[in-house]
Amino acid sequence: MWLWRVKPWGLAPRGLKWKGGLLSPPVLLPLRPVSGCRAPSVTATALVNYWAQLFEERGVPEARESSEYIVAHVLGAKTFQSLLASQRSTSITDLQREQIGELCTQRLQRMPVQYIIGEWDFQGLTLKMAPPVFIPRPETEELVNLVLHEEFQRCQERRGRGTLDHQPHCSPVILDVCCGSGAIALSLLSRLTQSRVVAVDKGEEAVQLTRENAQRLHLENRIQIVHHDITSGVNREQLLPWGPVDFVVSNPPYIFHCDMEQLAPEILSYEDTESLDGGKDGMRVIREILSQAPMLLKDSGSIFLEVDPRHPELVGNWLQSRPDLALSISATHVDFCGKPRFLHIHKSRSCQ
């Protein structure tokens, strides 16, 4: 996960006063015209520069990026760079200025940009975002790519053996545990057009958001969305509507509990911490997934997990202590920072 690790403010920054625990909006640029007066004209570029500077002064991470995304959103674009030069240099309306001011004030309160603008892109899909559902991080796109690559390899092998005559299309069944906004599940559905996915989360907000995103992307016919806590045991009827699955994929809570206090205000104040906190060793949910996976997977099925860089060794040792699961680490993959972040775990035989 990409994590803001900026420590919380000890005192309100100079120029801002606390009002009921929230920061009042800055006053250098009026958010709305004074009664009877016309507000001075201001361009989109000027507003981006103003708010970026203010964010920087107030210790808000990714100051310029935050300002650009918010201004672009109000102007109906995804990115500031996608706006025409004329749009950037044309005076914006009083209403747009007011909307930008309100949204940027939320950013000063350290609300994540994804929640402020209400959407975010993942694997080329635009997904609705809403607190407190976990925000998908960029590196998790690589987890999706690993599953896609594995399925492509399997299809090639079946084609080489001539077994595709009985299976005209590659049509894997996938179980996404801790689905959050549905980012992983829906990305796989969109790329594997014959696939089916069961998406599971214990949070009602996450289940509802995944359902909304599936409908927005017109993928609802190939997904089953289940409100279920994986740590409470296996519910075969809910989790296996199409029988055993080819893949179990998950970005589970994996942060060591002792590391939680280091997370930035954006995370601790707005995201569901239960979707992050993996317990003492970060493996509370990981162990449950691995314990139940053999009963959910087809023979020779695979598990793909996003984990903490300390987990490959811990997971390997734990699997060695549980030979009854018939699971072994097939590969460890690094993220774009070069840290071991993803595990490919293979089921080697039938497990009843």
- Asked if 31 and 102 count as a contact pair (C-beta separation under 8 A), the reply is yes
Reported as a pLDDT band with limits 50, 70 and 90, residue 25 is very low
Read off the pLDDT of residues 248-287 as tens digits, 9 standing for 90 and up: 999 999 999 999 999 999 999 999 999 999 999 999 999 9
- Asked if 122 and 136 count as a contact pair (C-beta separation under 8 A), the reply is yes
Decide the pairing of beta strands 245-250 and 297-306: parallel
- For residue 38, the model assigns a pLDDT of 56
- Asked if 328 and 319 count as a contact pair (C-beta separation under 8 A), the reply is yes
- Asked if 133 and 272 count as a contact pair (C-beta separation under 8 A), the reply is yes
Reported as a pLDDT band with limits 50, 70 and 90, residue 39 is low
Whole-angstrom distance, CA of residue 11 vs CA of residue 16: 10
- Mean pLDDT computed over every residue of the chain: 89
DSSP string, 261-307: GGS-HHHHHHS-GGGTB--TTS-HHHHHHHHHHHHHEEEEEEEEEE-
Average the pLDDT over 215-235 and give the result.
95
The pTM (predicted TM-score) of the whole model is 0.86
- 290 compared with 236, residue with greater pLDDT: 290
Whole-angstrom distance, CA of residue 60 vs CA of residue 66: 9
Sheet order of strands, 327-334 included? 223-227, 196-201, 173-177, 245-250, 297-306, 340-347, 327-334
In degrees and rounded to multiples of 5, residue 349 shows phi and psi of -160, 175
For the record, the structure tokens of 7 come out as: 């420590």
- Percentage of the chain with pLDDT > 90? 81
- For residue 351, the model assigns a pLDDT of 52
Q: Tell me the helix, strand and coil percentages in the chain, rounded to 5.
A: 45, 20, 40
Whole-angstrom distance, CA of residue 277 vs CA of residue 285: 9
- Give the total residue count for the chain: 352
Reported as a pLDDT band with limits 50, 70 and 90, residue 24 is very low
Show the domains of the chain with their CATH numbers. 18-117 (1.10.8), 121-347 (3.40.50.150)
- Asked if 301 and 44 count as a contact pair (C-beta separation under 8 A), the reply is no
- For residue 162, the model assigns a pLDDT of 62
For the record, the structure tokens of 73 come out as: 């959103």
| pLDDT above 70 (res 30) | no
Whole-angstrom distance, CA of residue 242 vs CA of residue 263: 39
Each as own residue / partner, the long-range contacts of residues 48-56 (CB below 8 Å, 24 or more positions apart, any chain) are 48/80, 51/100, 51/104, 51/107, 54/26, 54/28, 54/104, 54/108, 55/104, 55/107, 55/108
- 241 compared with 169, residue with greater pLDDT: 241
Reduce the DSSP state of residue 187 to 3 states and report it: helix
Reported as a pLDDT band with limits 50, 70 and 90, residue 170 is confident
Read off the pLDDT of residues 82-125 as tens digits, 9 standing for 90 and up: 999 999 999 999 999 999 999 999 999 999 999 999 999 999 99
- Between vectors from CA 303 to CA 302 and to CA 308, what angle results, nearest 5°? 150
- Asked if 80 and 71 count as a contact pair (C-beta separation under 8 A), the reply is yes
- For residue 31, the model assigns a pLDDT of 47
- 266 compared with 22, residue with greater pLDDT: 266
156 membership: H or E segment, kind and range: helix 140-161
Each as own residue / partner, the long-range contacts of residues 226-229 (CB below 8 Å, 24 or more positions apart, any chain) are 226/198, 226/199, 226/200, 226/201, 227/201, 227/202, 228/200, 228/201, 228/202, 229/202
| Nearest in space to 189 (alpha carbons), one of 149, 222, 212, 156 | 222
- For residue 163, the model assigns a pLDDT of 57
